[in-house]
A and B are shown apart, each in its own frame.
Chain A
Amino acid sequence: MSLEPRTFTVTRADLVAYAQASGDHNPIHQDEDVARSVGLPGVIAHGMYTMALAARAVADWFPGAQVVSLGCKFTAPVVVPAQGGVDVEVAGEAKDPVDGLTTVALTVTCGGQKVLGMPKAVVRARTDD
């Protein structure tokens, strides 16, 4: 079953808030010069920021469901411009539940390019409704 794709906009201000909330103050997510010094194309979103957006989509699709596992590779950077923002799209395909567990194969893209490798969530659907 295809799930309704969700689009999220990421700005530099979001990365600052996320650094505060997560404790990840790696300057490659804030400082253009540091990012370029390690060979990156510019300031990039925390991989965990993008993964959090994937988790948000899963939470929207399966309200109240417990997440049993979540994982991905970080295969391409999400470059966040100094002005405005960049859109990240999360699409999902839910498989038929097995023993109460639903596997969701995710596709997370930025500008048409996949940014997460094999992102996947397994959720336990609520049984009280």
Chain B
Amino acid sequence: MDQSLVGRSFPPTAPYAVTEDNVRAFAEATGATYGGGPAPATFPIVLAFGAMNAFLEAEALDLFRIVHGEQRFAYERPIVPGDVLTATLSVATLRQIGGNDIIGTTSEITDADGALVCSTSATLVHRGPES
């Protein structure tokens, strides 16, 4: 991976319609119950993960070599069913340590009006074959 990636933004993900069913499935997968209303705080990862997958595909990186190093969310407002959301990923930093690429990404999650809902940053560790 080369430094020219730093600062690059990738195309926005296809609009994702948040439904009660997919929020409930997400909540129940972590043992919580869901009775409507705001989605769990980590739900925006669904959007960010979609953006990351598109990024990995564009850069021909294997998901199974990715280990998650860090994740941060800053919320403008809670996500609720009915939202139609899009994530736009950009590469903030790139370092090589011990045969691994350490990739810092940020994803801005916006609603159908283009308003920012959540800004999230992730550190992805791409483990090289020799690590």
Q: Which A residues contact B (CB, under 8 angstroms)?
A: 8, 14, 17-18, 20-28, 34, 37-40, 46-49, 51-53, 55-56, 58-59, 66-74, 117, 121
B74 on the A face (CB < 8 A): yes
Q: Interface residue count for B (Cβ, 8 Å)? A: 35
Contacts A47-B71, A68-B75, A70-B41 given; 10 further ones with Cβ under 8 A? A17-B25, A18-B30, A21-B25, A26-B66, A46-B68, A48-B68, A52-B42, A59-B32, A70-B72, A71-B73
28 A-B pairs with C-beta separation under 8 A:
A14-B31, A20-B25, A21-B29, A22-B49, A27-B63, A28-B64, A28-B67, A37-B64, A46-B68, A47-B68, A47-B71, A51-B42, A52-B40, A52-B42, A53-B30, A56-B31, A59-B40, A59-B41, A66-B77, A67-B75, A69-B75, A70-B72, A71-B73, A72-B70, A72-B71, A73-B69, A73-B70, A74-B68
Residues A21 and B22 in contact, CB atoms below 8 Å apart: yes
- Bound Cα distance from A21 to B70, whole angstroms: 20
* A18 to chain B: closest residue by CB: B29
Q: Would you give the shortest CB distance from A40 to chain B, in whole angstroms?
A: 8
CB contacts (< 8 Å) of A121 on chain B: these are: 41
Q: Is the interface of B mostly helix, strand, loop or mixed?
A: mixed
Q: Select which of A14, A22, A27, A67 is within 8 A of B45 by beta carbon.
A: A22
A-B pairs with the 8 shortest C-beta distances? Answer: A71-B72, A47-B68, A17-B29, A18-B29, A55-B41, A52-B30, A21-B25, A21-B29
Contact A49 B30 (CB under 8 A): yes
User: A68 CA to B67 CA in the complex, in Å?
Assistant: 26
A38 to B30, CA, bound (A): 25
B40 near A71 with CB under 8 A, answer no
A43 to B25, CA, bound (A): 22
Chain B residues with Cβ below 8 Å from A74 are: 67-71
Question: Which residues of the partner chain B approach A70 to less than 8 Å between Cβ atoms?
Answer: 41-42, 72-73, 75
